Amino acid sequence: MLWVIVVIVVVILLVLVALMLLRRRPGPEQRRMEARARRAEADRQLEAAATEERRAASARAVAEQHAQQADAAEAAAREKRSAAEAQAEQARKIDPDA
């Protein structure tokens, strides 16, 4: 007789555990809602990444423009230096004592 009571208690406990496990599992509507939220977050991250890529491309273009300006300024400075050296050489030819 005792074993019948033990079996009934065990069966009741198993049913309770099964019910608790089923209640913990999210329903289909909640899973869909969570999937939509994850998809929206992924879309936001993709958009943020695209924005950062555009910003980086813009900064790269500005840096390239500055590099070109620096190269042009350097070339102009070299030309001015050459002209100044040539002028100094001519001045030495005219007045070697100066």
| Gyration radius of the chain's alpha carbons | 41
Tokens of 39: 């998809």
* Per-residue CA distances from 83 to 70, 88, 90 (Å): 20, 9, 11
Q: What is the pLDDT of residues 25-55, one digit of tens each?
A: 778 898 899 999 999 999 999 999 999 999 9
In three-state secondary structure terms, 7 is helix
Alpha carbons within 13 A on the beta-carbon side of 92: 6
pLDDT digits (tens, 9 = 90+) for 57-94: 999 999 999 999 999 999 999 999 999 999 999 988 88
**Both tokens assigned to 33:** 């809602």
End-to-end Cα, the chain, rounded Å: 130
Quote the pLDDT of residue 81.
96
